[in-house]
Structure 1
Amino acid sequence: MSHMATVDDEDAGEGTNRDGETPTTVADQTAAVTEETTVTEEGSELERSIGLVGGLSIGVGTMIGAGIFVFPGLAAGRAGPAAAGSFAIGAVIALLVALPASELATAMPKSGGGYYYYVSRALGTLPGAVVGISIWLGLVFATAFYLVGFGNYAAAVLAEAGVPVGGVPVVVPLGLVFGVALTALNLFGTENAAKLQNYVVGLLLTILVVFLGYGGLDAVGVFGRSTTPESFLPFGPVPVFTTAALVFTSYLGFAQVATVAGDIKRPGRNLPLAMVGSVLLVGVLYVATIFVATSAFGSARLAGFGETAIVEVARNFGGRFGAIAILLAGLLATVSSANASVLSTSRAIFAVSKDAIVPRGASRVNLRYGTPHVALAMAGGPVLVLVATGEVAVLAEVASFLHLVMYGLICVALLAMRRDEPSWYDPDFRVPAHRLVGGAGAVASFGLILFMQPLSQIVGLAIMVVSAVWYAYYAADVTLEVA
């Protein structure tokens, strides 16, 4: 089977299936022409409607949602104040992957990100197919995790407003309802979803800067308040790494920028800036959050507050007003995370469908709104099933497992592309010291998987095995084409 076939740029990215059929081209379809792209019923292209601010909003908004508003209590319970180190480890790994992903993305700015060109075009059809299907399901797990977080915050808002919800299981229903709403929003246009992301992240960052600024001054004693004395490593060094494996879900946002590369304007400039910039900004916010939170309460007490621990930290600083403000921020954060994930999940499905790894009908684009409506349905349906489980930690770690596999292979793909340098490979951004960066990124990504709990590892491996079986059954004869 041929894994790398060269074709004209105009037709690049289409897969040929087992019957030797090639997806219908633009010329063969009824086209709806916009100013920037041609959108066809079969999904040949998506409109480039997201700028640098939108790309940063997708990355920052996705990452802030989990790391600040869901994980502080869980992370402090596992690693104590050293949970700040866990987030720092996650940031370093994310940067080691963001740089190779930025180079590959500027050479191949296509929707579907890590699968669509990077792994499959560098390493072959089977690795690409396994990663493509796995990352679709990994994003599904991540989206479900964010929606469960939204349900927790929405329930807390109702309780703060005096609405009696004690003993009533409202978290899962609220997450389900909002999951349906976000899927519908993305159906009616990528630009609508991007605008929502920009507004939400702007307001969210404003609230967080005020909160962390005040909390940081309080933690160092400017306001004369005493902090909780505690050993930095109360449980030893190993929990720092196991906690890093748990919270790495918080850093999935930069890669989600790559999954919507086909929607981004001026990708050669905006993709690297959005991916690297979002990791740097959010990494600083995470470390500051854990410092502030563990200074306000001891690790054990913070862990007792669960998924809404940061709300109690805000209440400690600003009373009921502080709690309400951070609850609002938590709602905004989980909204932005879930919204960006729904968008990215549909683009991952769009990519594997375009390559005929899954039925090509999944890459059909709605002619009126220019969105992949079939892919959105395939994203939203499994998400709702997982939301119903409500298992926060497992959802987070399985999502991290599948993404870490992809991240490691992205680093390997960079090394392969630089080694072979095919004629069509002409990135606008090149990673300095690419062997060192790519090698370190691959080792760190694969290595972090070893610190996950066994259940998450089993589920992640099972998904990859099922993906390989599907490839062997349905797509073994696919020949990938490159530009």
Structure 2
Amino acid sequence: MFIGRHAYVLLVPESGDTEAEGELDRTIGLAGAVTIGTGTMIGAGIFVFPGLAAGRAGPAAAVSFAIGAVIALLVALPTSELATAMPESGGGYYFISRGLGTLPGAIVGIGLTLGLMFASAFYLVGLGEYAAAILVEADVFSTTNVSLGPFDVVLVFGMLVGVLLTVLSIFGTENTESLQNAVVGFLLAILVVFLSISGLDVLGVRGSSRIPAEFAPAGFGPILTTAALVFTSYLGFAQIATIAEDITEPDRNLPLSMVGSVLLVGVLYIVTLLIAGSTFEPSVIGPMGETAIVEIARTYLGFGGVVVILIGGLLATVSSANASILSASRALYGLSSDGLVPNAAARINREYGTPHFALSFVGGVTVVLVATGRTEVLAEVASFLHLIMYGLICVALVAIRRRDPAWYDPAFMCPGYPVVPIVGGIASFALILFMQPLSRILGLVISLGAVAWYLFYASDVQLKNQV
């Protein structure tokens, strides 16, 4: 069948078969793509990171998010061009393997899959924090540090929801899109009201001004280290490219959704962090952790605001985890389709049109990662692996443009070429230098593990449409 400017073949299994290798069903439209990108980013950037970020840098954490937005946009533009030329599952893995070779592609593909699972676990731990906070507000517990026998309530909630989201995705991608559309629409309505009221308070329109005397109380050094930490907040646009094979009209919808989602959430992040850093001192907001935005809502909107933000935080972290699990499975599906991992991950369930094995594997590993509870480390390792991919995506665009293969025919051209991809690549690699040593070590270990896997399992793989 023909969709946009590209032809696809659906391989239908023989009667009685429940699965087969073939193309994924294209069921996600522009709204669904935007909400998958936006929903992922809102969950981390607004409902999980404000306490962690403002605790490090104060109001200047808004600059950290602005830096992240600029880097994300510099990468989103080259990614949009590559995605319209190659609208396939795997996103960055697919582009890099075709532009730079099988080994770089394998490193990125395996790193992308694991990075998305780390991000999913990070979001699910944040979800557990919100669930525990709701129980505290309902006087079920007196503190969020609660347990049910030997089990931590935060981690139990996160693990259970991880299983449920995996099952939901297995039963059809349209379930994921419907969930994202409903959740993100509700979240945006909540945020517009919340940020408007609290912003007026900070400026002194509704009372005494809360504008702090010092914009960067800890100096400007923490701004870049905080930018490295919170860059996980901008992984959503790349997740859109990862599920490109599920998106209708990819020539139009891929660039619009990727660039649009970065711009939208970037503005929301900056406003949120200015308000957070102006409401509490870093020494106060830092210990509040993943649910600091709840205390900000309490300050400006009272108990009613707390209830709404708690519900919003719960839905936002569900949305982020939902999109990340879906994207990780598609990255694994892309690797399997090329023969870089066992072909079971590329098998499609005939009834639901989803890669059920890939989804089950991703969901299972994510649930195990949730049990660690190491949120900041999970977030930074995910950022490390994505920044490697982003830098190489920019390099891949330059390499493919220089070689100009006959099959390369993008519907969207990156503006400002070659400056945009060159600056985007340099910025992506440079941000890694500001991460904590443990995150860099773990990211390097994963990358070396990917090299070892390639040499052991897939060194003789030949890819189609390789430059």
TM over 0.5: yes
3-state SS in 2 of match to 1:482: coil
Does 2:8 match 1:26?
no
The letter for the 2-side match of 1:147 is L
TM-score by length of 1: 0.92
Q: How far apart in 1 are the matches of 2:388 and 2:212?
A: 39
Partner of 1:153: 130
- What does residue 174 of structure 1 align with? 157
Supply the distance in 1 between the matched residues of 2:198 and 2:142 (Cα, whole angstroms): 30
CA contact (8 A) 1:42 1:361 kept: no
Aligned to 1:96: 74
Secondary structure of the structure 2 residue equivalent to 1:103? helix
SS of 2:463's partner is: strand
Provide the rounded CA distance (Å) in 1 between the counterparts of 2:157 and 2:447.
31
1:38-94 superposed Cα distances (whole Å, 9 cap, x missing partner): x99333101110000000000000000011111111111111111000000000000
Taking the aligned partners of 2:303 and 2:328, their CA distance within structure 1 comes to 37
Q: Distance in 2 between matches of 1:229 and 1:11?
A: 57
Q: Is contact 1:228-1:297 (8 Å) kept?
A: no
- Structure 2: 5+ residue stretches without partners: 1-5
Residue identity matched to 1:131: V
Counterpart position of 1:227: 210
Deviation at 1:229, TM superposition (A): 2.5
Deviation at residue 228 of structure 1 after TM alignment = 5.4
Is 1:465 matched up with 2:448? yes
Output the amino acid matched with 2:87. P
Question: For the residues of structure 2 that align with 1:428 and 1:242, how far apart are their CA atoms?
Answer: 37
Q: Does 1:138 align with 2:106?
A: no
Work out whether 1:123 is the aligned partner of 2:107. no
Written as runs of structure 1 = structure 2, the 5 A alignment for 1:323-402 is 323-402=306-385
Change in CA separation of 1:339 and 1:11 when aligned onto 2, cut-off 3 Å: closer
Contact 1:114 1:259 in 2 (8 A): yes
Alignment-mate amino acid for residue 119 of structure 1: I
C-alpha distance 220-480 of structure 1, shift in aligned 2 (>3 A):
same
AA partner of residue 91 (structure 2): G
Aligned equivalents of 2:213, 2:163: Cα separation in 1: 44
What is the Cα deviation at residue 299 of structure 1?
A: 2.2
- Amino acid aligned to 2:324: S
Question: What secondary structure does 1:274 align onto?
Answer: helix
Indicate the residue corresponding to 1:481 in structure 2: 464
* Letter aligned with residue 60 of structure 1: T
Native 8 Å contact 2:202 2:211 kept in 1: no
The sequence identity of aligned pairs, in percent, is 62
Alignment partner, residue 68 of structure 1: 46
Matches within 5 A, 1:32-431: 41-116=19-94, 118-164=95-141, 166=143, 167-168=146-147, 169-227=152-210, 229-431=212-414
* Amino acid aligned to 1:124: G
Deviating above 3 A after TM superposition, structure 1's stretches of 4 or more consecutive aligned residues are 9-12
Would the aligned equivalents of 1:228 and 1:294 in 2 still touch at CA under 8 Å?
no
Distance in structure 1 (CA, Å) of the matches to 2:420 and 2:444: 26
1:213 and 1:26 map into 2 onto residues whose CA distance is: 51
Residues 191-221 of structure 1, C-alpha deviations (whole Å, 9 max, x = no match) = 0111000000000100001000111111111
- Between 1:277-286 and 1:213-222, the stretch displaced more is 213-222
Structure 1 unaligned regions, length at least 5: 1-8, 13-24, 33-38
SS in structure 1 opposite 2:398?
Answer: helix
The offset of 1:381, in angstroms, is: 1.2
Deviation at 1:237, TM superposition (A): 1.9
2: distance between equivalents of 1:244 and 1:260? 26
- Choose which of 415, 418, 436 in structure 2 pairs with 1:432: 415
Matches within 5 A, 1:7-26: 26=11
Whether contact under 8 Å (1:172, 1:387) holds in the other structure is yes
Aligned-residue offset at 1:226: 3.3
Letter paired with 1:335: V
Task: Name the structure 1 match of 2:3.
Answer: none
Report the residue type matching 2:62 in the other structure.
A
* Conservation of the 8 A alpha-carbon contact between 1:31 and 1:41: no
Post-superposition offset of 1:232:
1.2
3-state SS, counterpart of residue 311 of structure 1: helix
Tell me the amino acid that sits aligned with residue 34 of structure 2. Answer: L
**Secondary structure of the structure 2 residue equivalent to 1:314:** helix
